[in-house]
Amino acid sequence: MSTSSRPSSTVERDLRALLGADAVLPGTPAAYLSDETETRGLHGHAEAVCLPADAEQVASAVAWCYERGIPIVPRGGGTGYAGGAVPTEGGVVVALERMARVRSFDPLLWRIEVEAGVRTADLRRIVRESGLYFPPDPGAAEQSQIGGNVATNAGGPHAFKYGVTGAWVTGLEAVLAPGELVRIGGAIRKDVAGYDVKKLLIGSEGTLGVVTSVWLRLIPPPETSLPVVGFYRDIASGTAAIAAVLGNGIAAAALEYLDAGALDAARGSFPAPVPEAARFMVIAEADGSGNEAGRLQAELREALADGAETVRAPAFAGDVAALWRWREGVSIAVTAQRGGKVSEDIVVPLDRLAEAVERTLEIGARHGLATCSWGHAGDGNLHSTFMVDAHDAAELARAQAAAEELFALAVELGGSISGEHGTGWVKRGQLARQWSPRLLELHAAVKDAFDPKGLMNPGKKQ
């Protein structure tokens, strides 16, 4: 039966009978119908929102929906920038927030298994209390969930040295269509049996199954983390400094940048004076043992000094924490400029970074939009952003047209339309820019093999 022929009250009532009253919300609260793309005006609609308490309830909900032809939209913390968790075609939102238990934790073996709904920041805190480190650090960590991080294969500043979320996943438990609970990998550090189905699920944005639990490997934390901040007059000198870090063989843990617009948006709250002439900023971080981090910080300082207005090297833990807190707030500061933003996540080869930063500004100017970019410079990953008033339909349309040009630019420069946020709903159709027809056919065949009825998060990652 199609969703449109089922009144939402019936879906809600039937799911409540199946899962129990506390597993289905009354009505469909707006908070479960949008994600960060709300700042560009995207909202969905749903027949019901369920909050399963365990993996068996997820399997029951998926089986019930699948049998009836009802779309299933997995939801983590709703911090995604691609509209992946927005129920654009209706259906049942399966929110994982109640599944937030640690299933097993073996600090002496550097491993943990957590349910999908554990928040990123909680996970990092739990392992830190036992002297361990989970490096992936996407922003919005207090809201995002490990299941969402796995489903988007999230990165973050320290992905430059430590890799993205998927690099830390040794096993997954997931519910696949038509409602079956499966486990792939586990508390093992290597596994080359069969095709890598685990990797297919990582980054699949809820379109192949619902992740219910994740096994992760951990490491001891670096003893010390010491950042260096450089301010530059222009894009050319800032990106030259970034290239100098790599060229000098300095193994930075993070290598970030902000262009003039992003810096202006957040300049007021920077925890130290920002030089008047600064139009570009680079943040690099050295980590390791006290000695190693100290040596690397000195090398970074030298590499970043060439062409800089000022270079700062905070040494006290409080100053380092304040710097990263500020960096996390950049996205919000940019949104605050005009109340909304269309913010993408293209990635380019590192030697094309300067060109990508400059041409982002040109694209925005051509469409009459306030524009800026910042991001994970070491990974060539830009958050190219058009600042908009989300209530202004004409401005939003111009920003959408500008985003299309941005995707074309990424492909022209030998990059990709998405380095972090995924395709979701907002980049639907864009994969064809960078993949051949044969690859697109394989992509569709994978989806079909996992989800023959096309009910797992329909309309996304296409």
Residues near ligand FAD (CB under 6 A) are 35-36, 73-81, 84-85, 96, 116, 138-140, 144-145, 147-149, 151-152, 154-156, 205-206, 210-211, 331, 420-421, 424, 457, 460
Kindly state the smallest distance separating residue 291's Cβ from ligand FAD, in Å. 29
β-sheet bridge partners, residue 74: 94
CB of 427 to ligand FAD, least distance (A): 12
Which residues does 264 contact at the CB level (< 8 Å), separation at least 6? 372
Residue the block writes with tokens 């049942």: 92
CB 333 within 8 A of CB 258: no
CB of 212 to ligand FAD, least distance (A): 7
**Shortest Cβ distance from residue 315 to ligand FAD (Å)?**
25
Of 85 and 311, which has the nearer Cβ to ligand FAD? 85
Which of 74, 227 has the CB closer to ligand FAD? 74
Whose Cβ is closer to ligand FAD: residue 237's or residue 458's? 458
Q: Which is nearer to ligand FAD, 176 or 235 (CB)?
A: 176
Nearest to 98 by CA among 141, 58, 149: 58
281 or 311: CB nearest ligand FAD:
281
Terminus-to-terminus CA distance in the chain, angstroms? 24
The DSSP secondary structure of 159-227, one letter per residue, reads: HHHH--GGGGEEEEEEEETTTEEEEEE-S-S---SSS-HHHHHTT-TTSS-EEEEEEEE-BPPPSEEEE
Q: 377 with 255: CB under 8 angstroms? A: yes
Q: Which of 211, 226, 233, 253 minimizes the C-alpha distance to 94?
A: 211
Query: Could you tell me the smallest distance in angstroms from the CB atom of residue 216 to ligand FAD?
Result: 14
Least separation in angstroms between CB 128 and ligand FAD: 19
Least distance from ligand FAD to the Cβ atom of residue 177, Å: 12
Q: Which is nearer to ligand FAD, 73 or 353 (CB)?
A: 73
Decide whether 153 or 297 has the Cβ nearer to ligand FAD.
153
> CA distances (Å), 350 to each of 240, 296, 356, 413, in order?
11, 21, 10, 10
Spatial contact of 286 and 226, defined as CB atoms under 8 Å apart = yes
Q: Closest residue to ligand FAD, Cβ-based?
A: 148
